Chain A
Amino acid sequence: MPQVTLTVNGKAATVEVEGRTLLVELLREKLGLTGTHVGCDTSQCGACVVHVDGNSVKACTMLAVQADGSSITTIEGLAKADGTLHPMQEMFREHHALQCGFCTPGMVMAAVDLVAKNPQGLTEEQIRHGLEGNLCRCTGYHNIVKAISAAQPLMHAKAAE
């Protein structure tokens, strides 16, 4: 069986997988990181979004073997070791940007990448377009957009430190 060596949330891991093993299966079933969710399994809902080498991707639409040598960040890797939440997580809590919470890990990971790649700042409309790959069936998106908008200055201030 192929062997995959990768870094997940800063920790090195070497895992035996099948060719057909998906990245999300590696994360959830081999490494026990069940914060990354599987919603639609058809690349549409975005519940499985993680960062691969700093870019958001759908972990249900990438083979584990394709991630060999990559650095992965999942929702478990966002908060600090002492439990301090990432500004995006904090703003999701502050603005009540979740109800059932199923889409939230993917939403937060997509939002972190979106804001990080747009240091010039995003309008509400741009944030809504940036979430085209993430579905939420509870909130109607309004509070998610508010949370992301509010996280922008916090993330950019942190990046400038």
Chain B
Amino acid sequence: MYDFGYTKPSSLADAVAALAGDDEAKALAGGQTLIPVLKQRLNKPSKVVDLSKLGLSGITVTGDSVTIGAMTNHATVAASADVKRAIPALAALAGGIGDIQVRNRGTIGGSLANNDPSACYPSAVLALGATITTNKRSIAADDYFQGMFTTALEAGEVITSVSFPIPAKAAYIKFKNPASRYAMVGVFVATGPKGVRVAVTGAGQGGVFRHTAAEAALSKSWSPAAIDGVSISPDNMNSDIHASAPYRAHLVGVITKRAVTAAG
């Protein structure tokens, strides 16, 4: 690892000031992606700004929404009785990320700021029509994800929380890479105040995306059978040694059906 300066500010304003005006500064949330990246010398930040002392952890559930602080780790979301009651699919998704040790450190804000094309959380944010709140503004999920490892976040902009409208039904199913267990294809389906929404992670070259053909079919009939005959082009699918693009396109249909079955 290249060495870097390190700062652990105690206010959001100080953290933003430390990040602003320094293109080489990096924000550190749980570090479960950033630290491995630094170890491989794929990144050489001037300084690392640790967000752990900004008071950004915590979960608030109201009658129609679940709001999760950006620094809340996956284990906390998975174990939250409130989240399990309000959006069980979200708690289950959090409990399936990585392994226990990764879930004890990794955070929702870090996952969303990184926008890894195989990350689980982006699918929940997009399918539930969540709102991402930063130090500057609120960003709708549909505007937030802008391609692999690319988001609407500007330089010096820090996610503070994510607010999920509570759906009537939802489920997340992922087809795991057999060795590393990341989502080769993950599908989050939801029906509720935002209508029927289906978001796919792991499959697309551009990161998470909405499966609009499946949404149209499920809007007519919320049932696994509605997915029969709905296809998706392999043109923009990832292709690697683990799965070809046509295989991933096929999996999108299979996993969408399983997710609708699981949502009930």
Q: Does A124 contact B (CB under 8 A)?
A: no
Please measure, in the bound complex, the distance between the C-alpha atom of A55 and the C-alpha atom of B50, giving whole angstroms: 19
Interface stretch, picked from A7-15, A36-44, A142-150, is: A36-44
Q: Does B210 contact A (CB under 8 A)?
A: no
Residues 50-93 of chain A, each 1 if its beta carbon lies under 8 Å from chain B, else 0: 00100111100111011010000000000000000000000000
B5, B6, B180 pick with most chain A CB within 10 angstroms? B6
B32 engages A113 (CB within 8 Å): no
Please measure, in the bound complex, the distance between the C-alpha atom of A100 and the C-alpha atom of B126, giving whole angstroms: 46
Footprint of A on B, CB under 8 Å? 1-6, 8, 28, 31-32, 35-36, 38-39, 47-48, 50, 52, 75, 98-102, 104-105, 180-181
B32 engages A43 (CB within 8 Å): yes
What residues on B are CB-neighbors of A52 within 8 Å? 104
B180 engages A44 (CB within 8 Å): yes
Footprint of B on A, CB under 8 Å? 2, 18-20, 22, 41-44, 46, 49, 52, 55-58, 61-63, 65-66, 68, 110, 113-114, 130, 132-134
Task: Give the 5 A-B CB pairs with smallest separation, nearest first.
Answer: A133-B99, A19-B6, A132-B99, A20-B1, A55-B104
A65 engages B6 (CB within 8 Å): yes
Please measure, in the bound complex, the distance between the C-alpha atom of A127 and the C-alpha atom of B28, giving whole angstroms: 31
What residues on B are CB-neighbors of A68 within 8 Å? 8
What residues on B are CB-neighbors of A41 within 8 Å? 39
What residues on B are CB-neighbors of A114 within 8 Å? 100
A66 engages B180 (CB within 8 Å): no
What residues on A are CB-neighbors of B39 within 8 Å? 41-42
Please measure, in the bound complex, the distance between the C-alpha atom of A57 and the C-alpha atom of B180, giving whole angstroms: 18
Tell me whether A43 and B102 are in contact in the complex, defined as CB-CB below 8 angstroms, given that A19-B4, A65-B50 are known contacts. yes
A-B contact pairs, 12 of them (CB 8 A): A19-B3, A19-B48, A20-B3, A43-B35, A57-B105, A63-B28, A63-B48, A66-B52, A68-B8, A132-B99, A133-B98, A134-B99
A130 engages B100 (CB within 8 Å): yes
Tell me whether A113 and B35 are in contact in the complex, defined as CB-CB below 8 angstroms, given that A19-B5, A62-B105, A66-B50 are known contacts. no
Partner among A18, A42, A58 whose Cβ is within 8 Å of the Cβ of B3: A18
Partner among A22, A42, A133 whose Cβ is within 8 Å of the Cβ of B101: A133
B99 engages A20 (CB within 8 Å): no
